[in-house]
Amino acid sequence: MKTWKTSVVKKGVGMITVLALSLSLSIPASAKQSVPHSKVFAPSHELFRDKALHNGTVQQSFGFDDVNGHVYVMQLMAGGIQLPGEDAPVSGATRSLKGDLTLTKLDLAGNKLGYMYLKGFGHGVQIGIETEDGVPFIWSETDSVAEGKEGWGTQLARFPFEDGAILTPDSASLEKHRLVERADRTTVNIDSANNLLTMRYRMNGVFHFGVFSLDDVKEGRYEPVADVVQPSLGTFQGFASYGSFLYLLEGNAYGSNGSVVPIGNTYITVVNLQNGGVVDRELFTGGQDLSFREPEGLGIRVPDIRHPHKAQLYVGFASNFTPNRLSNLLYIDELKPLSRVVK
């Protein structure tokens, strides 16, 4: 059974009212209503399985356009591609170092509808989708800086999807935002049901999640309504926020770091954005029969925008083998009783 409740997040003089996925937790004194007891984890369902993206690399993240019924999937650009203005085909290692990404637009059955190339954007760890007057805008990291063998974003960008376009951090269609000065490893999620933007960022070696009013960000006001430190995790693979709660994905492909067929080591951790406390951490066992099965990205979908409280939590997995990795999306839409939360 699903239960939902309106709760309040307060920081400084700013206050926002949000719809929160109801879980067992302690609400701080600033909250005007308590949150009923329930839980997110339940048997999963498939949206689509083994679907090809524009490139054959592993998907990194995804986001939903709930207005138009589309999904956008981000991945590292494949090696061997030569784009206009490049002297020769570029290797995959160089693409990764420079932060070159490929964005694929799909329908909800996983059929490809279009693509874009994003040069110098980052690693594609997480993206967000905002739909304004029926037009989808992509939120992603940009201004990639190399660290190790990978490129990572240092601020955020908002831009409209344009099939076949090639963008760089200097493209005129980008609206860029530096929400936290001196932060790096920036990635983003959009909670369209509650008009919130959550940014994951690194400051002085520590990862944080800052929550902002989406309208404020677009108007250049960067005062967070909440900010929490990332709890201890395994291999980080993505995040999504919905109201007062943050969902964190971790895990590895079969055969790596203790991930063993068929159980794997994919976990979802739930964090209370009001106080940074960990509400729950549970193994996700959906898609056990996928080949490879590397967790890649979390997302919230609202199937009917007239009912934003009826949300679904999606987990992405890459499957198949190089050079033809495939995309898979599974979701959870039921809650478990309190007896399964409190041990």
pLDDT in tens, 95-132: 999 999 999 999 999 999 999 999 999 999 999 999 99
Whole-number pLDDT of residue 41: 54
CB environment 78-96: b (16+ within 10 A), e (fewer): bbebeeeeeeeebebeebb
Residue 188: which of 147, 149, 232, 246 has the closest Cα? 246
Residue 251: which of 332, 153, 318, 326 has the closest Cα? 318
Whole-number pLDDT of residue 183: 98
pLDDT in tens, 15-64: 222 223 333 222 232 333 333 333 445 578 999 999 999 999 999 999 99
Whole-number pLDDT of residue 6: 27
- The helix, strand and coil proportions of the chain, stated in percent and rounded to the nearest 5, come to 5, 45, 50
Residue 92 backbone phi and psi in degrees, to 5: -65, -35
Q: What angle do CA 60, 62, 68 make, to 5 degrees?
A: 160
Residues 6+ apart with CB under 8 A from 66: 131, 192, 301, 302, 303, 305
Distance CA 327, CA 112 (A): 11
- The ranges of the chain with pLDDT < 50 are 1-40, 336-343
